[in-house]
Amino acid sequence: MTRIRKLGLTVAIISGLAGIMGTAQPVRGETLTIGATHSLRAPFQEILPLFEKEYGMTARVVYGASQTLRRQIEHGEAIDVFLSESIEEVEKLYQQGLTLNGKPRVYAQTSLVLVMSAASRATSISFHDVVPNRARMALADPKTSVLGEITARMFTTFDPAYKTGSNFLYGQHSLDIMNLVQTGKADVGVVYRSDAINSGHVRIIDEAPAGSYTTIKFGHAVVWTCRSDSRPAADEFLDFLLSPRVQKLLLKYGFDAVPLTE
């Protein structure tokens, strides 16, 4: 009788452990490849570890200019999820039938700001003053950068002749521009607000004027190069990115709230 009781107890314990193991998060071991704008470097240091831990997979990020990433995807680059700094770049893929999850959606927003070195003692100037004052201005190249395109359109709205009015230095993205400002090669620079807030080397001296492309909408998509075995993970990641807690983390890193209608 004693042996029977011990055997029953052992079976119960084993069954209990099996039940616990059965309800645990499965170890999937998948790798998700994300093509992302440089502006996500700072928040991803916190966001990606959360995703990897909770979903049991590894996220590999390829950072780059959104125009460059979009062209790479068009040519078959092995990318599962595209996180652009411009929803327009995602729409270009959508119009070609190169996205897999419906119409492009906005996952974050920001605006343009004018910055100078945090160590500079120069008098602050505004967007309207920077061209007439012939300040050395660091900008993103409009030929290769979404940030550059948006900046060029913004300046054209209130100074059509701005291209001949300033001494420009070009970078590929906000990090390049802030480096030019920090090192004194440029007096001021135009970057995304979210990037400026996450830098301790520059300070914001002006916000983009109302009505001049002040809101930049970051778009996402699962793209046609997504591997079939990565598709569920890609969908899960986008749902995770749009979840209230991750959206709250993006606010922490200087992004603006995304309207519920987006």
pLDDT along the chain (262 residues), means of 10: 44 42 48 95 96 94 94 96 95 97 93 94 86 85 88 82 75 91 94 92 88 80 95 96 95 86 56
pLDDT of residue 21: 40
The count of other CB atoms within 10 Å of the CB of residue 171 is 22
Structure tokens at 118: 């945090």
pLDDT of residue 166: 64
Structure tokens at 130: 């920077």
Q: What domains does the chain contain, in order, with CATH numbers?
A: 30-109+216-252 (3.40.190.10), 112-207 (3.40.190.10)
Structure tokens at 7: 């055997």
**What strand order describes the sheet that includes 167-171?**
167-171, 136-140, 188-192, 112-117, 202-207
pLDDT of residue 262: 54
At residue 203, what are phi and psi to the nearest 5 degrees?
Answer: -130, 145
Q: 217 pairs with which residues across the strands?
A: 109
pLDDT of residue 261: 58
Name, in order, each residue with C-beta under 8 angstroms of 221's C-beta and a sequence gap of 6 or more: 81, 82, 90, 93, 94, 99, 100, 101, 104, 105
Cα–Cα dist 260/221, whole Å: 18
Residue entry with tokens 């012939």: 134
pLDDT of residue 7: 40
Least Cα distance to 186 among 178, 194, 174 occurs for 178
pLDDT of residue 28: 56
pLDDT of residue 123: 87
Cα–Cα dist 241/32, whole Å: 14
Structure tokens at 46: 């916190």
Three-class DSSP category at 257: coil
Nearest-10 Cα torsion for 101, 104, 109, 115: 110
pLDDT of residue 214: 66
Q: Work out whether the CA dihedral 156, 69, 254, 173 comes out positive or negative.
A: negative
State which H helix or E strand residue 203 sits in.
strand 202-207
Determine contact, residues 189/181, Cβ cutoff 8 Å: yes
Cα–Cα dist 220/9, whole Å: 53
Least Cα distance to 102 among 227, 234, 228 occurs for 234
Three-class DSSP category at 94: helix
pLDDT of residue 23: 39
Length of the chain in residues, anyone?
A: 262
pLDDT of residue 160: 73
CA separation, residue 131 to residues 18, 103, 163, 200, 231 (Å) = 70, 39, 9, 26, 48
